[in-house]
Amino acid sequence: MGTRELTLASGRVPPEAVPTRLSSAIFRLKVAGHQLRRTVRELFDGPGHLPRVNGSEYTVVAGESRTALWSDHRAAEAAYQRGKVHNLRIAAEALDGILVLPGRVFSFWAHIGRASKSRGYVEGRMLQQGCMMGAVGGGLCQLSNALYGVALQTGCEIVERHAHSRLVPGSAAAEGRDATVAWNYVDFRFRAPQAIRIGARVVDEHLVVSFCVPAGTQLAARRRNVTGLSVLNRPASATPHPPASTCGTCGRTNCFRKEN
């Protein structure tokens, strides 16, 4: 099995194995097991769906994230970038106006649902087995990253958060402030200190996510250190993660996923 070794400024990274059809099949079986286990657990102890409200009462922006939609301008990635933006538009519409009441847990997947073709999602890039590969619904981690950042700004309790296993160029993963998601077993969840309304929309060239509270509310925007979180809420590792490879441009000719 072929390997390669990456060198980062902060040190050496263990060799990365080239994915094979067998390793990918094993990975899919493991994912299916995790998804089934999560589905069964949610039947008895799921966070549930939260209501949607208009913004007439929630006029004070307590925290906000504004991230560029187009993060890779290479010609080979243009179609996947367009797919990502399309997917973010659909997902943002699903979240815009959600009201998180005190004591209730917000779940990313409870409100987004499965990103399938039948629901309008298309192919974007998604991190799997260390590679940025084409997958339906790819790109939604930009939205979960943004939610995590605003949740930290507004002092929310992080209930579940998972870091990416690789550094994704142009994302919050490079700063350890990311929250990866994968249907349905890798979720992002938080509990708000008071009632907040989630705003999510695509504006011009940016994805804008905001948490709003009623006028007169004294919710101080504050940043929290992500260290010391629970096992589910893993902080960025002290060991440098290698950057994620993109299937179309990584240059490994012996990988069955190679796109060109």
Cis before 260? omega within 30: no
pLDDT at residue 251 greater than cutoff 90? no
Tokens 């948490």 correspond to 211
Whose CA is closest to 165, among 148, 178, 156?
178
Q: What percent of the chain has pLDDT over 90?
A: 58
Where in 95-184 does DSSP place strands (E)? 99-100, 105-107, 123-128, 131-136, 157-160
Q: How many Å apart are CA 126 and CA 136, to the nearest integer?
A: 8
pLDDT recorded at residue 180: 94
pLDDT recorded at residue 71: 87
Lowest mean pLDDT among 120-124, 169-173, 222-226: 222-226
Q: How many Å apart are CA 221 and CA 224, to the nearest integer?
A: 10
Sort residue 224 into left (φ over 0), alpha (ψ -120 to 50) or beta: beta
How does pLDDT run across 138-153, given as a tens digit for each residue? 999 999 999 999 999 9
Torsion on CA atoms 133, 179, 167, 260, rounded to nearest 10: 10
Whose CA is closest to 210, among 59, 107, 54, 53?
59
Contact in structure between 164 and 241 (CB atoms under 8 Å): yes
How does pLDDT run across 170-201, given as a tens digit for each residue? 666 556 679 999 999 999 999 999 999 999 99
In whole numbers, what is the pLDDT of the chain averaged over residues? 83
Contact in structure between 137 and 124 (CB atoms under 8 Å): yes
